[in-house]
Structures are given as C-alpha cells and as structure tokens.
Amino acid sequence: DSGVTQTPKHLITATGQRVTLRCSPRSGDLSVYWYQQSLDQGLQFLIQYYNGEERAKGNILERFSAQQFPDLHSELNLSSLELGDSALYFCASSSQGNSYNEQFFGPGTRLTVL
Amino acid sequence: GQQLNQSPQSMFIQEGEDVSMNCTSSSIFNTWLWYKQDPGEGPVLLIALYKAGELTSNGRLTAQFGITRKDSFLNISASIPSDVGIYFCAGRDPHNFGNEKLTFGTGTRLTIIP
C-alpha cells in the first residue's frame, strides 16, 4: 500500500458527460501528480500541483482541469468526455527532501466512456 | 520532447532465469526510477537512482544509472512467479526547473512460462 488513495476505483459514463476523480496524497506529501494510461500504454503526465499551486503541465487537454485543496487532496475534472478518454487515471505524490523525485502511485481510477 | 526507449518490449522466460532490461533516453536525466505494475494496479516504485554510475540493489533486483546519464538498466536474478508484470523506467530531466515531472518508458512485459 503506497499510502495514496484514489476514488472511485471504477467509473462508467457516457460521451459528453463530466466526471471528477479524487486523490489523497500520502501523509505529509505536498506534491500531487496526475497521469493517464491508455490500454497497454505507458503513463502520460498530465499535471502537477504543489501545495495548492499548479507547478507543471503536460499533455493535458483543455477539457480537463485539476486543483489541489488546502487539505492537499486533489481532484481531476474531465468534461465533454469522448470515447478516447477511456483510460486508467493515476495520481501520485512525492515528499520534500532528497527523495522528492520518488513518486508513489495510487491504485488508479478506471474510466470507461460509452 | 524527450523519449524513453525501453527494451525489450516483452520477455518470456522460465522460472529461475535472470532477466535484463534497459532504457535509453534522447537526452540526459538526473534521476532514473524503476517501477513495476501489476494488471489494473498502480505502479510500485522498485529502485531510485540519483548519480551517474550508481548501482543499487533491492533484493533480487539491481539497477544501474548509466555513465552517459542517458540510459539505465534493471536486472532481476532468479525470477519467481510474482515477478510477472510490466516494468517501467522513468526519468527526470534536469532542465525541468521547478517541477518534478517524470517521463516514462513504454514498459517491458515480463511473462514466466511454466
């Protein structure tokens, strides 16, 4: 158990809809990262938050947005969903100090868009 | 952008065999990480490398940070059934100031033949 939690585990929705994925980082971690993994693909970095502020952006679509709250949990919002958005979405967190590059992943949310 | 080429794409081995896989980058990294992912689960951090030439072990796993800083290697000795899964390398670009974005390889799928 990495200590990173994600909800829900599975999500099934229709095209055009909007969903929210939630992530709680490990206790004490200030950084949260979101990744997308399509079928049999590697992980694509979407966005990073650090202590409530956006820190880095990857290949995140304009239809997607995220935020990190004062209690450090984060939400990823996906809107106007398309079939191609079906994927596993992972959240990761990392700590300060010398091991700040080590990201610990949650169990993921499997999104299916029908 | 950066690309990480991971090879081999897949491996079919017998229990007890040793395994070697590697990752090469088009540019230098200052951190290399190796993760293992089981189906439907989040990646689990195996080994982190921070210095060129560094050799680090974690049980039967040994990883090395290449001297050129553009490659890394992972070896698994005396494979066992629970080693089955997908292994990902990940690296951090030292020029990504202010963020800790990781670039992931495409993965090596390890299968153990009975």
Give pLDDT tens digits for A32-61.
Answer: 999 999 876 778 999 999 999 998 888 899
Phi/psi at A85 (nearest 5 deg)?
A: -80, -10
Compute the nearest-CA separation of B72 from chain A (Å).
Answer: 16
Q: Report DSSP letters for B30-93, one per residue.
A: SEEEEEEE-TTS--EEEEEE-STT-EEEETTEEEEE-TTSSEEEEEE-S--GGG-EEEEEEEE-
From chain A, pick out residues whose CB is under 8 angstroms from the CB of B101.
Answer: 33, 45, 48, 56, 58
Q: Do A58 and B88 touch (CB under 8 A)?
A: no
The residue type found at B94 is P
Q: For the segment B6-63, what is each residue's pLDDT rounded down to a tens digit? A: 999 999 999 999 999 999 998 888 899 999 999 889 999 999 999 999 999 999 999 9
State whether A94 and B100 contact (CB < 8 Å). Answer: yes
pLDDT score of A102: 86
Chain A partners of B106 at a C-beta cutoff of 8 Å? Answer: 41-42
**Residues within 8 A of B (CB atoms), A 9-48 only:** 31, 33, 35, 41-45, 48
Top mean-pLDDT range of B28-32, B38-42, B83-87, B95-99? B83-87
| A-chain residues near B33 (CB < 8 A) | 101-103
Smallest Cα distance from A3 to chain B, Å: 11
How many other CB atoms sit within 10 Å of the CB of residue A30? 18
Q: How far is CA B107 from CA A61, A66, A86, B2, B25, in A?
A: 24, 27, 20, 16, 14
Contact state of A48 with B31 under an 8 Å Cβ cutoff: no
Q: Which positions ≥6 away from A99 have C-beta within 8 Å? A: B48
Asked whether residue A101 carries a pLDDT value surpassing 80, the answer given is no
Name the DSSP class of A72.
S
Chain B nearest C-alpha distance from A82 (Å): 21
Residue A59: what pLDDT? 83
